[in-house]
C-alpha cells in the first residue's frame, strides 16, 4: 500500500469513529435528559439549554476531526 492509501484510510477512520462517538454521546445525553425531565418536570427549561449547549460541543469535536481529516486528504504531507 502506498502512503496515499494510508492517508485515505486514516481520514476514513477519523471521520467514521468521530461520527460514531458523537452519535453515541448525543444519544446518551438525550436519554439522560428525558429521564431527568420525567423525574423533575420543573427543571426542564434549565436542562434543555444545557443539553443543547453540550450537543453543540459534542458536534464541534466531530467537526474538528473532519477538518483535520480534510487537511490530511488535500494537503498530503507524506507525498514527496
Instruction: Please list the active-site residues.
Output: 59
C-alpha closest to that of 26 among 58, 4, 62:
58
d(CA 32, CA 28): 6
SS3 content of the chain, % helix, strand, coil (to 5): 90, 0, 10
Amino acid at each position: 500500500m502506498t502512503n496515499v492509501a494510508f492517508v485515505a484510510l486514516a481520514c476514513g477512520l477519523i471521520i467514521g469513529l468521530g461520527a460514531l462517538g458523537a452519535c453515541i454521546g448525543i444519544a446518551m445525553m438525550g436519554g439522560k435528559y428525558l429521564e431527568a425531565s420525567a423525574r423533575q418536570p420543573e427543571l426542564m427549561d434549565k436542562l434543555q439549554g444545557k443539553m443543547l449547549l453540550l450537543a453543540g460541543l459534542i458536534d464541534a469535536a466531530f467537526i474538528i476531526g473532519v477538518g483535520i481529516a480534510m487537511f490530511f486528504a488535500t494537503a498530503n504531507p507524506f507525498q514527496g
